[in-house]
Amino acid sequence: MSGSIELVQTTKVYDQVSVVDAINVKVEKGSYCCLLGPSGCGKSTTLRMIAGHEAVTEGDILLNDRNVTRLTPRQRGTAMMFQDYALFPHMNCLDNVSYGLKVSGVSKLVRYEQANEMLSLVNMAEHANKFPGQLSGGQQQRIALARALICKPDVVLLDEPLSALDPFLRIQMRKELKQLQQKLGLTFIHVTHSQEEAFALADQAIVMSRGKIEQVGSPRAIFESPNTPFVANFIGGHNVLKASGSLEFLSNRVVNPDSDDALLEANLSFSVRADHITTQPRSDKDIVVKADVISTEFQAQFYLLECVLEDGQSITCYQPEESFDVHLISSGKSLYLYWPQERINTFRC
């Protein structure tokens, strides 16, 4: 069991607009994959095409190297869990969970036995006779998950599964999702607009913007070296800066191995992580820039420092709480900011 998914030039056109635009990506079997991007970038459309709930305009979808593009959802071996759980309000949990087997013609005895197994798997065995309206948000989510799992899918597709939960429950349920995925060894594809959620869960994250894939990789690799200014801005914790104006001196030092020089000189930009910038030099090779403090904010483990460079570019840094001197650094003051040259991330695209 457990399936790999491959999208090959997969495209969805609505009203002459490509909302998913010839994307290519492979999801390894047994991995937890998060599809991450801002609202409207094409995440749900991509997921629905994988599920077979939405026709593909062009391109293909492969499941375990088998072309499933023209198959119905039930022929594919995928199961989808919807954002609002879509439980049947007039059915108890046992009937909700066993529903998929009922429509496949499985006898009552067998489907109830399997539904009870699934309810135990999601720790809901004692709620088998309750109706969805009698359950909390987290419990409803577990029932929806059990219902998706009962058909023994190779791939589980989850569209913003945690968005209906309060922040506390969201963190608890995301741990449960990951544990269940690991226990069952299934491939999960989880759509979210939250980079925090994607980073916490994903083996592989796929960052999308405007129907295209911006970057694919482990959360750590993406955070370490975002490919594009969009990714750096979207995942947060990074400054995207132009090597011009007060950073002009950087333009011949920031080297982008994959671009040609003419392009570099025209519009050279780079990113540097907010936690890699300090107010004290660590080495005489550090890059140093003058800045004015706009605001400081206490954020528990660190202070968030908003500054502006002499050329008007904004720059944000995180300063560890234990070394932050509120008397030396406050809004209106000028200071120098430092970061090691090797911490500069140049964009590959």
Residue 56 touches ligand ADP, criterion: CB under 6 A: no
For position 45 contacting ligand ADP by CB under 6 A, the verdict is yes
Q: How many residues bind Mg ion (CB under 5 A)?
A: 1
**Of 23, 36, 41, 186, which lies in the binding site for ligand ADP, with binding defined by CB under 6 A?**
41
CA–CA separation, 307 vs 55, rounded Å? Answer: 48
Per-residue binding letters, 13-52, with Mg ion (x by CB under 5 A): -------------------------------x--------
Q: Does 185 bind ligand ADP (CB under 6 A)?
A: no
The angle subtended at Cα 194 by Cα 193 and Cα 197, nearest 5°, is 130
What residue 76 binds from ligand ADP, Mg ion, none (CB within 5 to 8 A, per partner kind)?
A: none
Distance of CA 319 to the CA centre of its chain: 26
192 binds Mg ion (CB under 5 A): no
8: nearest Cα among 56, 73, 40 = 56
Cα–Cα distances (Å) from 268 to 122, 214, 230, 239, 240, in that order, read 51, 19, 15, 14, 11
Residues 3-22 that bind ligand ADP (CB under 6 A): 14, 19
Neighbours of 4 (CB within 10 A): 17
The answer to whether 39 contacts ligand ADP (rule: CB under 6 A) is yes
- What is the nearest approach in angstroms of ligand ADP to the Cβ of residue 215? 16
- Residue carrying the six token digits 């420092």: 305
- Euclidean distance between CA atoms 60 and 41, whole angstroms: 20
**Closest CB to ligand ADP among residues 47, 243:** 47
Instruction: From the list ligand ADP, Mg ion, none, pick the one residue 14 interacts with, judged by a Cβ distance below 5 to 8 Å according to partner type.
Output: ligand ADP
195 binds ligand ADP (CB under 6 A): no
Near ligand ADP by CB under 6 A, which window of 41-49, 65-73, 90-98, 308-316?
Answer: 41-49
Contact with ligand ADP (CB under 6 A): which of 2, 43, 135, 291?
Answer: 43
By beta-carbon proximity to ligand ADP, the closer residue of 49 and 277 is 49
Minimum gap (Å) between residue 263 Cβ and ligand ADP: 30
Q: Is the Cβ of residue 5 or residue 241 nearer to ligand ADP in the bound state?
A: 5
Instruction: Note whether 44 binds ligand ADP by CB under 6 A.
Output: yes
Residue written as tokens 């911006």? 214
3-class DSSP assignment, residue 5: strand
CA separation, residue 62 to residues 3, 11, 31, 56, 184 (Å): 10, 14, 16, 12, 21
Residue type, 61: I
Burial class of residue 340 (count of CB atoms within 10 Å of its CB; 0-12, 13-18, 19+): middle
Q: Under a CB-based contact definition with an 8 Å cutoff, are residues 268 and 229 in contact?
A: no
What whole-number distance in Å separates Cα of residue 268 and Cα of residue 241?
9
Q: Which helix (H) or strand (E) holds 183?
A: helix 167-184
| C-beta nearest to Mg ion: residue | 44
Pick between residue 47 and residue 241 the one whose CB is nearest to Mg ion: 47
Cβ of residue 42: shortest distance to ligand ADP, in angstroms? Answer: 4
Smallest gap from Cβ 63 to ligand ADP, in A, equals 20
Instruction: Choose among Mg ion, ligand ADP, none what residue 96 binds, the Cβ cut-off being 5 to 8 Å by kind.
Output: none
Residues in contact with Mg ion by CB under 5 A are 44
Residues in contact with ligand ADP by CB under 6 A are 14, 19, 37, 39-45
